Amino acid sequence: MTFASNSTIDIAFWFSDQALNENEYLQPQKLHRLLYLAQSFYAIAYEGNKLMPAVFVADDMGPIEPTIFQVFSRGRPDVDVELFLAPDVELFLTSIWRRFGHQKPEQLGRFTNNNGAFALALRKGRGTEILLTSMVTTFKAETEKKAVNPAQPINPDARVLRTQDGSAVKVKSWAPRVT
């Protein structure tokens, strides 16, 4: 199987850099949830192909990628990474960031932990692998209910406005009342 990125660390660094660029602290749990969502939605959008060579396992706190868990256990590691991703991968990650990056870890946790693939793996026991096919099946069903197309990237140039606590807000242009 081929992967869109050479390593999971490249994708984790991309999310870390994105958070840094937006003056946001990326908590480890949030990083794992973003990686999990990115892998799931990439597989949906690209016919079962993997974004990165990652394995996700069920843990009490949610889905985690064990290698990233170890590597990032003391913060961002000092390792050499390419930090160059194909343009289509960058666009896809930007779309995931725009959709989920503004959410708090607790919000993402509710979304990922209520996912059927995670729940099934956790019932089998902590440390059980969450199969990609299961991730695709459950997220695909959820996105079809909500009419969300993961292959349709959100405009990466769209400006997201936020409140002081980081929540995204919808803004419309002001139009004076006609009397």
Tens-place pLDDT, residues 119-176: 999 999 999 999 999 999 998 887 666 555 544 544 444 555 666 566 666 667 777 7
Domain ranges for the chain, please list them. Answer: 8-169
- Whether 52 shows a pLDDT value over 80: the answer reads yes
3-class SS of residue 75: strand
- Whether 81 shows a pLDDT value over 90: the answer reads no
Please state the rounded mean pLDDT for residues 11-15.
94
Supply φ then ψ for residue 56, to 5 degrees: -105, 140
Supply the pLDDT for residue 58: 95
Most confident by average pLDDT, 4-8, 93-97, 108-112, 164-168: 93-97
Supply φ then ψ for residue 38, to 5 degrees: -60, -45
Please state the rounded mean pLDDT for residues 65-84.
84
Q: Give the tens place of pLDDT for each residue, 58-71.
A: 999 999 999 999 98
Instruction: Please give the structure tokens belonging to residue 2.
Output: 């081929």
- pLDDT category, 34, cuts 50, 70, 90? very high
Query: What sections of the chain are H helices per DSSP?
Result: 8-21, 28-45, 66-71, 87-100, 105-113, 116-124, 132-146
- Report d(CA 36, CA 154) in Å as an integer: 19
- Whether 97 shows a pLDDT value over 90: the answer reads yes
Most confident by average pLDDT, 19-28, 51-60, 153-162: 51-60
Q: How far is CA 177 from CA 77, 173, 174, in A?
A: 55, 13, 9
Please state the rounded mean pLDDT for residues 15-38.
93
Supply the pLDDT for residue 75: 82
Residue 68 near residue 12 (C-beta atoms within 8 A): yes
pTM here is 0.80
